[in-house]
Structure 1
Amino acid sequence: MQHPQDGVHEPTMVSATTDVEKMAGSSGVSRAKAGKLRSARALMLRLISAGPIEERGVLPVPLEERSSTRYSSYFSIWACMNINLLPITFGMLGSSSYGLSLRDCALVILFFCLLTAAIPAYLGTLGPKTGLRQMIQARYSFGRYLVSVPVILNLATLTGFCVIICVVGGQCLSAVAGGSLTPAVGIVIVGILSLLISFCGYDVLHHYERWAWLPAVVAIVIVTGCGGSHLHQQAPTEPATAGAVLSFGMIIASYMIPYAALASDFTTYLNPQFPSWRLFLYGFAGLIFPSVLLMALGAAIGGAISSVPAWGEAYETNAVGGILASMASPAGGFGKFVVVVLAFTMLGNIAATMYSITLNFQILIPQLVVVPRYVYSIVVTAIVIPVSIKAAADFFNSLENFISLIGYWSAAFVSILITEHVVFRKGLYHTYHHDHWNDAARLPWGVAALGASALSFALVVPSMSQVWFTGPIAEHTGDIGFEMAFVVTAVLYLPFRMIEKRLSGR
C-alpha cells in the first residue's frame, strides 16, 4: 500500500480497486464488465501499490484523503509552468506582430497579467474545499452532459498549448545540434519525456515541479547575460494605438485565463483547513512573477530581431529556439548545454498540462471514467507529437491562429464558474455534494450556463479583431472580445440560472 510522502496523499491499492466499482456503478458499466477490467488491470494495480502512479482520476477526493500540507506547491507548480520559454514566446508577439515598443509591451503585459492571473489563482482555491477537479466543478453549473462542450474546448486548448511547447522545445534542440537533429526529432524527445511525468500523476508531478524551476531560472539568466548586450537595439516603432494595445492584451489573456480550467486539478489533495486567501496569494505570485518578467524579456527579444543579423538568420531557421541558441553562442559549448537545459524546462508546463488532459478525457464521456487516468497520457502524447511536427513548419502563424480564439471561450467559461459559486452557491463549499457529481438527476440542467455562454458571442464576435476578421466594434476599440465574453456571460447567466433553478429545483 502507498503512504503519503511529504504531505501528499495518494490513493492506496485498495481504494483504487474500490474506485473501479464506484465508477462502474455511476457510469452505467455492468459489474461483470467491471470485474473483467479489474482482472486486466491487476498487474498495473500491483505497480501502483509499489510506486508513485496515481490511479484515482476524476473521482471526488474525500475529506480524509485531502491531507497534504505542502501548500507552497501551489506556488511552485505555477512557477515551474511559467519559468520556461513559453511566456518568452508569447511576449515576442507584442513587438514582432503588433509593432509595440518595449515600454508599451511591458505595460500591457503587467496590466493584463495582474488582471487575468487572479482568475486561475482564485478557482484553484476551490480544490481543497470541494475535493473536485476543475472540470468536475463545472458540472455543478453546466450539468453532467452539457459540460462536454467546454470540456471539448478545453481539450483543444490544452492540446494546443502542448503543441506550442513541444515545437519550441524541439526547435531549441535542433538549433543546438546545428541541423544534425531535426525539429521533428526534438519534438519527439520532449513529448516522450513529458509523458513519463504526466503518466505517474499528482505526486510525481508535484515533486518534479517543486524543483524543476531552479535550473530553468539559472539557464534563462545565463542566456540573457550572454545575449543581453543586444537587447537595447530595439527597432523603431510607431506610437501605440488602442487597437494594438488591446489586441496584445487579448494575447496575454489567452495565455493566462485558460489556466483557470485546470487550476483545481493541482490542489484537490491539499488540506482544506489552510486559509483560502493565503493559498490564492501563493497561486497569484506563482503566475505573476515569472510570466511578467519573461514576457517582457520576450518582447525585448522580438523588438531586437530585425536589428541583430545573427538573430534574424537564426529566427528564420529555428524560430524561438534559433534565437536563444544565437544569444547563447558567445559561451561556446557551455552555451549549447544551457540551451538544451532551456529546451527541457518546457517539461514543467507540458507535463502538468498533459496531466489535466488525462482528467478531461474521463469527464468528456462518462463511460470512459473506468479507463485508468494514466492511459490517456499515452493517447494525448500520440496526438500531440504528429500535430507538433506539422505546426512547426509555420510556427508563429500556427501560434497566432491558435491563441486568437482560446481567450474568448475560456473567459465565458470562468465567468459561469465564478458567478455560480459566488452568487448562487453563496461561496458555500458544502453545496458541491460529492454524491451529485456524476448524477444527471441531481445536477443542474446546464442550459442556463451553455445558453449564456453561447449568446454572449452575439457581442463577442463584433468585438473580435483577428487577421481573418475584424468586427465593427473592434474597428473602433481594438480587440475587446474576452472582456465582452466575461461580462456579458455573467449578466446573462444571472436571470437564466434563476429561471433554470426555479424550473428544475436544482
Structure 2
Amino acid sequence: MKKLSFGTGGIQRVTDEDRAKNPSEVWNACTFWLSANMALATLNTGMVGGEMGLAFWDSFAIIMVVNVLACLLPAWTAKFGLTGLRMTTSSRYSFGYWDNMFVVVFSMISTTGWNAISSISGASCLSALSNGACPQWDGVIIICALGITWIHRLDFVLWIAPFIVWCMAAGTRAKHFGGHATKSPTGANGAASALSLITVIFSFAVSWINCAADCNVKMPVSAPRYKIFVTSYIGILVPTTLVQTLGAALYSAAEVNPSWKSAYLAYGVGGPLRMALGLAGGFGKFLLVLAGLSSNPNNVPNNYSFATHAQNFSPWALCVPRIAFVTFGFIAAITVGCCGTAFFSDTLQTFLSMIGY
C-alpha cells in the first residue's frame, strides 16, 4: 500500500511524533481550500439563483452576505485538527458513540453527493467541448477516475489553473452578462426563491464542516489556532464568493443570449462556459478542459473523508484498509453521478437544501 502511495493510517489520533515526520504548514489551510473551492461545482451553485428566477443583483447580494457568515463555521471547526482526531471522530464527544452514527452516515451521504455533483459539473464541460460526442455519464466516470493521490500533494498550486479560467471567462465575455436580464419575483414567490437560495449558498459552505479538521491533523500542536481559523476562512470564502458570483453572471448572460441559453439547456454549466471562452479559440478549449478538471481537487477531500467517516462505524471497520472504503465511495459517486446527469439541476438543489437542513 505504501508503494502505491495510498494512506495506510486510520482514524487513530495523529501523535506528535507522527506530525514531526511530515508536518503541515499553517498556510496549507488556505491553499488547500482555495483548490477545493475554485471548482466548477462552485460555479454551478452560483447559477441556482437565476434558475429560481432571481435577478443577478439579488443573487449577488445573497451570495456575498450568506458566505461571509456561513464560511465562519467550517473555518472554526478547522481548528479541531490540532487534536489529531478527524472531525467525525471528535464529534463522539458531543453526540456519544452510538448517536454519532447518525453524523457518520449523514457525512458519508454528503461526501458522496458532493463527489457526484462535482463530477457532473466537470462532465458537462467535456460534453460541451465535444459537442455531445462525450456523453455526460461517460464524463462522470472520467472525472471520478482522475481523483488520485498526487492531486492531493499538489493542492497548494491547483487553484491557479481554474482561477485563470474564471478570469478569462469573465474578462472576454463580460459584455454579455445581463445584470438586469430578469426581474426577481415579488411577494411570497420572491421570498420563497430568496430563502431557497439562502439555504443553497449556506449549505455549500457548511458542507465542509464534517471534514474541515481532517486536513489539519498533521499541523504542529503549537500552531496558533487563530491563524488556522483566518487562513481557512480566507481559503473558503474568497474562491466561493468569486466563483459563485461568476456563475450567477454566466446564467444572466444565458437569459439575454439565445445561443447561450440553448448551450446551457443542452450541456448544463459547460454550455455557457464554452461560449464565454470561445473568443480565445483553441486556447479557450484548453481552458474548458482545465475547468472540467477543476472538479478533482474538490473530490479529493471528499474521497479522503468518506473513508475516515466509514471507519467510525465500529472497531472492525478499523481493520478494513482505507482504500477499500475509498473504492466503495468512488463506485457510489459514479453511480449517483451517472443517474443524476439527467436531472442535474433538481439533484443539485435538492441535495444542497437537504445539507442545509
For the aligned pair, the TM-score class normalised by the smaller chain equals over 0.9
Answer yes or no: is the 8 Å Cα contact 2:76–2:229 preserved in 1.
Answer: yes
- Name the structure 2 match of 1:75: 30
1:102 aligns with 2:56: yes
TM superposition score normalised by structure 2? 0.94
Which residue of 159, 168, 186 maps to 1:222? 168
- Name the structure 2 match of 1:89: 44
Query: CA separation of 1:233/1:246 partners in 2, compared to 1, >3 Å: closer, same or farther?
Result: closer
1:30-49 to 2 correspondences below 5 Å: 44=1, 48=2
Paired amino acid for 1:190: I
1:212 aligns with 2:158: yes
d(CA) in 2 for partners of 1:269, 1:156: 26
Which residue of 193, 205, 221 maps to 1:256? 205
1:52 is paired with a residue whose SS is coil
- Name the structure 1 match of 2:273: 324
Which residue of 212, 219, 243 maps to 1:270? 219
Paired amino acid for 1:80: S
d(CA) in 1 for partners of 2:134, 2:54: 35
Answer yes or no: is the 8 Å Cα contact 1:223–1:338 preserved in 2.
Answer: no
d(CA) in 2 for partners of 1:269, 1:231: 44
Answer yes or no: is the 8 Å Cα contact 2:55–2:179 preserved in 1.
Answer: no
CA RMSD of aligned residues (A): 1.6
Q: Which structure is higher in RCO with an 8 Å CA cutoff and minimum separation 6?
A: 2
- Name the structure 2 match of 1:56: 9
Paired amino acid for 1:62: T
- Output one character per residue of 1:227-264: Cα deviation in whole Å (capped at 9) or x when no partner: 22201364230366444333211111111111111111
d(CA) in 2 for partners of 1:69, 1:403: 31
- Name the structure 2 match of 1:147: 100
d(CA) in 2 for partners of 1:308, 1:95: 14
- Extract unaligned runs of 5+ from structure 2: none
Which residue of 236, 240, 248 maps to 1:291? 240
d(CA) in 1 for partners of 2:164, 2:184: 35
1:78-477 to 2 correspondences below 5 Å: 78-97=33-52, 99-128=53-82, 130-194=83-147, 196-197=148-149, 204=150, 206-232=152-178, 234-238=180-184, 241-408=190-357
Answer yes or no: is the 8 Å Cα contact 2:56–2:179 preserved in 1.
Answer: no
d(CA) in 2 for partners of 1:228, 1:308: 13
Paired amino acid for 1:207: R
Aligned residues: 352
Identical-residue share of aligned pairs (%)? 28
d(CA) in 2 for partners of 1:394, 1:158: 19
TM superposition score normalised by structure 1? 0.67
d(CA) in 2 for partners of 1:270, 1:406: 29
d(CA) in 1 for partners of 2:4, 2:330: 22
d(CA) in 2 for partners of 1:217, 1:78: 13
Superposition deviation, residue 312 in structure 1: 0.7
d(CA) in 1 for partners of 2:315, 2:349: 33
Superposition deviation, residue 85 in structure 1: 1.3
Superposition deviation, residue 145 in structure 1: 2.1
Answer yes or no: is the 8 Å Cα contact 2:34–2:159 preserved in 1.
Answer: yes
Structure ID, larger Rg: 1
d(CA) in 1 for partners of 2:331, 2:175: 41
